Amino acid sequence: MPHRKRYTAALLLPLLVASCGEFPETPGHGAAASDMSKVPDAVPKDEPRSHYGNPASYTVLGKTYTLLPECTGYHERGIASWYGPKFDGGRTSSGETYDMHTMTAANKVVPIPCYVRVTNLKNGRSVIVKINDRGPFVENRLIDLSYAAAGRLDMLGSGTALVDIQAVGTGATAAPPPASSTPAPAVPVTLPAVPGPVAGAAAVSTAATGTPPQLFLQVGAFATRSNADFLVQKLNATGIAAVFVLPVETGGHTLYKVRIGPLADVDSADRASAKLTQLGFPDAQVIIP
52 band by pLDDT with thresholds 50, 70 and 90: confident
What pTM did the predictor assign? 0.79
d(CA 117, CA 127): 6
Termini Cα distance of the chain? 27
- The pLDDT value given to residue 34: 55
pLDDT band at 37 (very low <50, low <70, confident <90, very high): confident
140-149, 192-201, 208-217, 260-269: the lowest-pLDDT one: 192-201
Torsion of CA 122, 125, 129, 134, to 10 degrees: -10
Q: Under 8 Å CB-to-CB from 32, ≥6 apart: which residues?
A: none
Nearest C-alpha neighbor of 266 from the set 61, 1, 36: 1
99, pLDDT greater than 70: yes
Q: Which amino acid is at 72?
A: T
What pLDDT score was predicted for residue 171?
A: 74
Averaged pLDDT score across all residues of the chain: 81
Start-end of H helices in the chain: 147-152, 225-237, 266-278
Secondary structure (DSSP) of 112-171: SSEEEEEEETTT--EEEEEEEE----STT--EEEEHHHHHHTT-TTTS-EEEEEEE--TT
For residue 71, is pLDDT > 90? yes
Domains and CATH numbers, the chain: 3-167 (2.40.40.10), 207-287 (3.30.70.1070)
Q: What b/e string do you get for 74-105 counting C-beta neighbours within 10 Å, with b at 16 or more?
A: bebbbbbbbbbbbbbebbbbbbbebbbbbbbb
Distance CA(185)–CA(281), nearest Å, equals 29
Instruction: Report pLDDT digits (tens) over 216-253.
Output: 999 999 999 999 999 999 999 999 989 999 999 988 89
With beta carbons less than 8 A apart as the criterion, state whether 46 and 184 touch. no
The set of residues, in sequence order, having a beta carbon less than 8 Å from that of 247 and lying 6+ positions away, is 225, 254, 255, 256, 257
**Residue 152: its pLDDT value, please?**
97
Tell me: pLDDT of 80 over 70: yes
Picking from 39, 64, 67, 63, the residue whose alpha carbon sits closest to that of residue 52 is: 67
- The string of pLDDT tens digits covering residues 167-223 is 999 877 776 544 333 333 333 333 433 333 333 333 334 555 567 899 999 999 999
